[in-house]
Structure 1
Amino acid sequence: MIYRSKAPLRIGLAGGGTDVSPYCDQFGGAILNATLSLHAHATIESTGDNRITLVSEDQGKEQSFDWATALPADGELDLLKGVYNRIQKDHPFTMNGLKLTTFVDAPAGSGLGTSSTLVVAIIGAFAEMLKLPFGDYDMAHYAYEIERNDLRLAGGRQDQYAATFGGFNFMEFYGNDKVIVNPLRIRQDYLSELENNLVLYFTATTRESARIITEQQRNVKENNSKSIEAMHQLKEQARMMKEALLIGKLGEIGEILDYGFRQKKNMAANISNSHIENIYEAAMKAGATGGKISGAGGGGFMIFYCPRNTRYKVIETLNTFGGKINPYQFTQHGLTTWTIQS
């Protein structure tokens, strides 16, 4: 049997960073995000060789081990190992060998939640194989625990929930790992216009989000008023974006994005840089009314809101910076799993 899964990547439209502890534990966080037609994929196959083989096709990496209930986390394919180890700890199983293969439709460190989405996809494949009764909240929290507690990777909470639930969601984050996901019922014509106007641009750079997030966390712990106030404003930005999408104030979306872009730079150093600033200013001059860096910042994907027919001039301008426009569609489905005969 072959067990497969896929989970969608996401763009954060507003509130980014307010899902990170300790800010959300102390003040509560809010984020509005949407999933895209870019996915993390996972496949589990029985091999019969009494070995565990891990393959990351997009990274060109492969490791193989004698069958064991725990694999060494040594910096190579640790997301795959982390999920396997936790599943074996909580839901022990034996096989005569397995091969776990993964692929992600966007580069690691590109700001679309690739790592967390991949963890969700891998858990989904194991849940499909072992018939584990995970609900959506269970799945997302399980992925969060593996990343943040087992593997000690710095980050927030939104990615795991976006990948699991899918669609447009207004998410609230509180202390004691409390998360509330509010699916948004947005009119199809509003969604179509947003999809038409929102340009997704890969800057051809990636970044290590953990360093930026660690500084953000330190700023909250040290009561850095500038950083904390920026997070307060980003939380309010998420509410502004929710209202604009629900009642059709599409003309305000660019300004809301621009407001968030300027606030986010106050959260931590290295969120922006001269290359990002040059791209942003050029896009604005070409007709965009706002934009943002996707994810923690520092590189990766950016999005720009281009009303009317300005997207064509903006795309022409962005192409001069050596990056790439990435086609996409919004998706309404989260994690999907299935089984096929081998």
Structure 2
Amino acid sequence: MISTRTPLRVTLGGGGTDLESYYRHGGGFIFAMGLDKYIHIAAHRPAFQSGVVLHGPEAETCERAADLKHELVRAALLAHGFEDRFEAASIGDIAGGTGLGSSSCFLVGFLNALHALKGQTPDRQALAEEACRIEIETLAKGIGKQDQYMAAFGGLTTLDIAPDGTVKVEAVKLAPDLEAAFVRHTHIYYTGLRRDAAVILNDQNSAMLSDPSGSRDAVAESLGAIKTLGYRIRDAWVAGDLEGWGHMLHEHWVSKKKMSSKISWPHIDQLYDHVRANYGVLGGKVIGAGGGGFLMLFDPSDGTKLEAYMASQNMPRLNYRIDRAGAQVLGARTEMMTAA
């Protein structure tokens, strides 16, 4: 039995510049943090039982891996030669569809388990790229590379993405008291809303892949501003400029909303304007591609009044810390099994 633990993530700057339709024109940049909220996977190969059994939100049983409806599991199993005699279960600390990169997180954890069952220990870069190949190439999903890399590496991390898709990963290290201050003042609230990020990313991809037009130029301009802002946000964190980070969050909000009408919801927009006007919030963003899930707000005060107000709106605060470990095999029995 193999058990893995893989962190979810929050993008702090540069979101959207990790899609090929953008980075191939001049590179992308992401600054993100892994959360101490995880997707857990347990997997093994039964000694005699045939078939493939999945437990979890998308439970499924079938005779062969090729017959699975769960496309991430199907593609991963076939890529590793596990055609049958396989069982796995998954549990998430936070539900999918909430903007924290859960699909790619699941895939990275699942691939990590498959490697462990075969007695292999891939490095994090290789694990992230394998997940990218499956999602972006094999399954032709219109997504970027940040979720796979952040699931593999965790931490407070920058991703420099070259026009050819090569990713350079660097850890950003802060003094413990400074890191704690950023976490303390950077609130994350659950909105209760869920939406498929691919719907919003498809708008961006479609615009960037179209012939030169007002839409393409506007999206490219917004993403260019977001990329530049990503570098400034990274520098603010390194310099300990908390208020600067708060104001940059608002800049990001304005730039992001120019790209798609689906980035936010009307009542989230109204709530955001209200907390900026009445609770001292300097800036915020909808986490992920947009449209739901979690709302990040920077509050320079002790946060008591803001937290109470958000609770009155049925939006509880997420207590979190930065995960430093990245994707892990927590252990158990490595069976050195190869596919039958």
The TM-score bracket by the shorter chain reads over 0.9
1:217 maps onto 2:220 in alignment: no
1:3 maps onto 2:18 in alignment: no
1:313 maps onto 2:335 in alignment: no
Q: Higher mean Cα deviation, 195-204 or 217-226? A: 217-226
The corresponding residue for 1:55 is 55
Among 62, 69, 89, which residue is 1:65 paired with?
62
Contact 1:10-1:112 at 8 Å conserved across structures: yes
Cα deviations by residue, 1:148-177 (Å, 9 ceiling, x for unpaired): 122222211101111111101111112222
Distance in 1 between the 2:193 and 2:148 partners? Answer: 23
Distance in 1 between the 2:268 and 2:73 partners? Answer: 32
Cα deviations by residue, 1:117-168 (Å, 9 ceiling, x for unpaired): 1100000111111122421111001001111122222211101111111101
Contact 1:187-1:246 at 8 Å conserved across structures: no
Cα deviations by residue, 1:19-39 (Å, 9 ceiling, x for unpaired): 112101112111110011101
Distance in 2 between the 1:151 and 1:324 partners? Answer: 35
1:323 maps onto 2:315 in alignment: yes
Distance in 2 between the 1:234 and 1:323 partners? Answer: 27
1:146 maps onto 2:134 in alignment: yes
The amino acid across from 2:43 in the alignment is I
Cα deviations by residue, 1:318-340 (Å, 9 ceiling, x for unpaired): 12322322211111110000332
1:184 maps onto 2:172 in alignment: yes
1:162 maps onto 2:126 in alignment: no
Among 79, 82, 85, which residue is 1:86 paired with?
79
Among 105, 114, 137, which residue is 2:102 paired with?
114
Distance in 2 between the 1:105 and 1:133 partners? Answer: 25
Cα deviations by residue, 1:183-217 (Å, 9 ceiling, x for unpaired): 11212111010111111111101001111111101
- TM-score, length-normalised on structure 1? 0.92
Contact 2:142-2:205 at 8 Å conserved across structures: no
The amino acid across from 2:199 in the alignment is R
The corresponding residue for 1:15 is 14
The corresponding residue for 2:31 is 32
| Residues 126-137 of structure 1 aligned to structure 2 (within 5 Å) | 126-137=114-125
Contact 1:42-1:101 at 8 Å conserved across structures: yes
- Corresponding residue SS for 1:334: coil
Percent same amino acid among aligned pairs?
Answer: 25
Unpaired runs of 5+ residues, structure 1, are none
| Residues 322-341 of structure 1 aligned to structure 2 (within 5 Å) | 322-341=314-333
Q: How many residues align?
A: 328
The amino acid across from 2:330 in the alignment is W
CA displacement at 1:341 relative to structure 2: 4.7
Cα deviations by residue, 1:234-269 (Å, 9 ceiling, x for unpaired): 001111111111111112111011110110011222
CA displacement at 1:101 relative to structure 2: 0.7
CA displacement at 1:85 relative to structure 2: 1.9
Distance in 2 between the 1:34 and 1:152 partners? Answer: 26
The amino acid across from 1:41 in the alignment is H
Q: Higher mean Cα deviation, 317-326 or 173-182? A: 317-326
Contact 1:197-1:305 at 8 Å conserved across structures: yes
The amino acid across from 1:113 in the alignment is G
Unpaired runs of 5+ residues, structure 2, are 335-340
The amino acid across from 1:3 in the alignment is I
Distance in 2 between the 1:221 and 1:50 partners? Answer: 45
CA displacement at 1:300 relative to structure 2: 0.9
Contact 2:21-2:208 at 8 Å conserved across structures: yes
Distance in 2 between the 1:29 and 1:78 partners? Answer: 28
Distance in 2 between the 1:65 and 1:94 partners? Answer: 11
1:271 maps onto 2:270 in alignment: no
Cα deviations by residue, 1:269-306 (Å, 9 ceiling, x for unpaired): 21122022022122223121111111100111111111
CA displacement at 1:46 relative to structure 2: 3.0
The amino acid across from 1:307 in the alignment is P
Contact 1:73-1:82 at 8 Å conserved across structures: no
- Corresponding residue SS for 1:22: helix
Cα deviations by residue, 1:208-232 (Å, 9 ceiling, x for unpaired): 1111111101111234221111101
Among 99, 111, 116, which residue is 2:87 paired with?
99
- Corresponding residue SS for 1:9: strand
- Corresponding residue SS for 2:136: helix
Off by >3 Å, runs of 4+ in structure 1? none
Contact 1:279-1:318 at 8 Å conserved across structures: no
